[in-house]
Amino acid sequence: MLIVGLGNPGKQYEKTIHNMGFMVTDCLLEKLGRKLDKSGCKAKYCVEYIGGKKQVIAQPQTYMNLSGESVRELMGANKFAPEEVLVVYDDIDLPLGNVRVRREGSGGSHNGMKNIVAECNTTSIPRVRIGVGDERGSRELKDYVLSKVGGEKMRILNTVFDKVAEGIWQYMVDGDFDALMRRLNGKQA
């Protein structure tokens, strides 16, 4: 299985709305006592074996809008089919604290997921969307998703990250996508 957290590399993007995928995978890595100790396929990643199955946890280093290049290369290098991938990313169309897990779908308004769908030539890529709400007001979408998250919003999201990371870990163990959807779909904080 390939677990991909989407985000933008670099200190200036830490704790921004668009880095929710990185933050979830960081939380997952902490639970596993692992670090991203490998580089390749335009990503930082680690390989873990759970229940005898190869698990790759990755953070593309391509910047958000080109995430699909990394996902496609990681899938090819590790011989993962689209249904063996799980992409985690932010979603402004979901209220803060909500999570939506789906087996497939378009990229919606999310440029990173749109690029993954285009590069992998399929909409059949499982995903976990982290609700951040749409509080951009008069700001451009790109300015909003690249803004820092702090205070109460960050406290809520940290609770969500922990629950999502726990759910993904269970999914890595049991491989039961329906159970992952039951565990995570809905309000998590």
Q: State which amino acid sits at residue 120.
A: C
Catalytic residue among 8, 17, 18, 115: 18
Q: Which residue has the tokens 């991203």?
A: 36
Has 18 been annotated as catalytic? yes
Question: Is there a contact between 75 and 122 (Cβ–Cβ < 8 Å)?
Answer: no
> Chain centroid to CA 161: how far?
10
- Give phi and psi for 116, each to the nearest 5: -65, -45
Q: Which residue has the tokens 């939506």?
A: 100
Q: Cα separation of 159 and 98, whole Å?
A: 11
Question: Is there a contact between 92 and 134 (Cβ–Cβ < 8 Å)?
Answer: yes
- DSSP 8-state code for residue 26: H
Which residues are annotated as catalytic? Answer: 18
